[in-house]
């Protein structure tokens, strides 16, 4: 039997779409598509109830790494709900359950039990309503692993888009784009493009912050004061292939994208709306 990595799948907000999405993994075609063992982290009774509500017959079994994978059967690492979960009805009482799924998956990744984790959607607002400060999966996992600088990158549709800042109010973005933050992000992105995608000298397209990349300072000075000096330094000292800062409104056109292997956007919606 070929080695298959084991991936932990957290089922997310129990009142949301996560459990239903994860139940679709019972399709036997998924085993061929993903070439991995998938383990759902969820309350087993929750999954059974959602399957029944959808009129689907889904086989669930308790996760046992000694058992071989079985087509059409979902392995479930049971984590008990903290409160009753009704579809579409958010309850802050289940916020500890949502975070417990992440903590268990993370513990398994750190111990080697799991090769990776995939997360179904959570609801940030209801977690905060429970009195738990939470801005997103990225920041939560960074805090739990004592990671001083985390870089979010999303890939799909032929695009790879990384971000300098993640879940911040727009008014706070300019102050967060410091020379140190930008340089550290670019170094991490450059390194991981080689490690994860085999591109040893990636061509990185870097967005400006302001419209028209600042228009020579007339529409903002972040490009002149921060972004351009950092790019010049990394080109000279690290030999990075960096194109920019580029106006974000035209950066995602096919002729420009053809000149790079990935994109670095300055803030969340600047990059992810296009992706």
User: Is residue 48 domain-shared with residue 168, that is, in the same domain?
Assistant: no
Residue 80: inside a domain: yes
Residue 170: inside a domain: yes
User: Is residue 92 domain-shared with residue 25, that is, in the same domain?
Assistant: yes
Work out the average pLDDT over 123-141. Answer: 95
The rounded mean pLDDT for the chain is 95
User: Is residue 229 domain-shared with residue 180, that is, in the same domain?
Assistant: yes
User: Is residue 93 domain-shared with residue 114, that is, in the same domain?
Assistant: yes
The model carries a pTM of 0.85
Tally the domains of the chain.
2
Residue 64: inside a domain: yes
Task: Give the pLDDT score at 72.
Answer: 85
Q: Please determine, for residue 9, whether its predicted confidence score (pLDDT) is greater than 90.
A: yes
Indicate the residue among 144, 168, 191 that finishes a domain.
144
Alpha carbon separation from 224 to 93, 228, 231 (Å, rounded) = 48, 6, 11
Indicate the residue among 107, 125, 144 that finishes a domain.
144
> pLDDT tens-digit profile of 27-66?
877 767 888 899 999 999 999 999 999 999 999 999 999 8
Indicate the residue among 144, 162, 190 that finishes a domain.
144
Work out the average pLDDT over 196-209. Answer: 97
Is residue 69 very low, low, confident or very high in pLDDT (cuts 50, 70, 90)? confident
Rg over alpha carbons for the chain, rounded to the nearest Å, is: 21
Determine the structural domain holding residue 257 and report its residue range. Answer: 153-272
Give Cβ neighbours of residue 166 (< 8 Å, ≥ 6 apart): 135, 136, 138, 139, 150, 152, 268
User: Is residue 216 domain-shared with residue 255, that is, in the same domain?
Assistant: yes
Task: Give the pLDDT score at 178.
Answer: 98
Residue 1: inside a domain: no
The closest of 85, 19, 27 to 54, measured between CA atoms, is 19
């Amino acid at each position: 039997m070929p080695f298959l990595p084991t991936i932990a799948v957290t089922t997310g907000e129990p009142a949301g779409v996560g459990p239903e999405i994860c139940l679709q993994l019972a399709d036997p075609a998924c085993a061929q598509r993903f070439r991995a063992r998938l383990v759902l982290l969820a309350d087993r009774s929750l999954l059974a109830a959602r399957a029944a509500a959808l009129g689907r017959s889904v086989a669930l079994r308790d996760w046992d790494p000694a058992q071989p994978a079985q087509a059409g059967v979902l392995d479930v690492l049971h984590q008990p709900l903290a409160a009753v979960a009704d579809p579409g009805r958010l309850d802050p009482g289940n916020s500890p359950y949502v975070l417990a799924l992440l903590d268990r998956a993370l513990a398994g990744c750190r111990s080697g039990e799991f090769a990776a984790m995939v997360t179904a959607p959570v609801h940030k607002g209801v977690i905060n309503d429970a009195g738990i400060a939470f801005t997103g999966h990225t920041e939560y996992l960074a805090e739990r692993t004592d990671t001083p600088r985390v870089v979010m990158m999303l890939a799909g549709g032929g695009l790879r888009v990384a971000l300098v800042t993640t879940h911040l109010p727009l008014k706070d973005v300019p102050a967060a784009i410091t020379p140190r933050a930008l340089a550290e992000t670019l170094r991490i992105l450059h390194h991981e493009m080689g490690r994860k995608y085999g591109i040893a000298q990636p061509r990185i397209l870097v967005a400006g912050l302001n419209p028209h990349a600042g228009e020579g300072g007339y529409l903002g000075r972040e490009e002149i004061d921060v972004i351009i000096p950092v790019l010049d330094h990394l080109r000279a000292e690290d030999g990075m292939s960096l194109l920019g800062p580029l106006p974000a409104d035209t950066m995602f056109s096919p002729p420009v994208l053809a000149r790079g292997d990935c994109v670095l956007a300055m803030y969340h919606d600047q990059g992810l709306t296009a992706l």
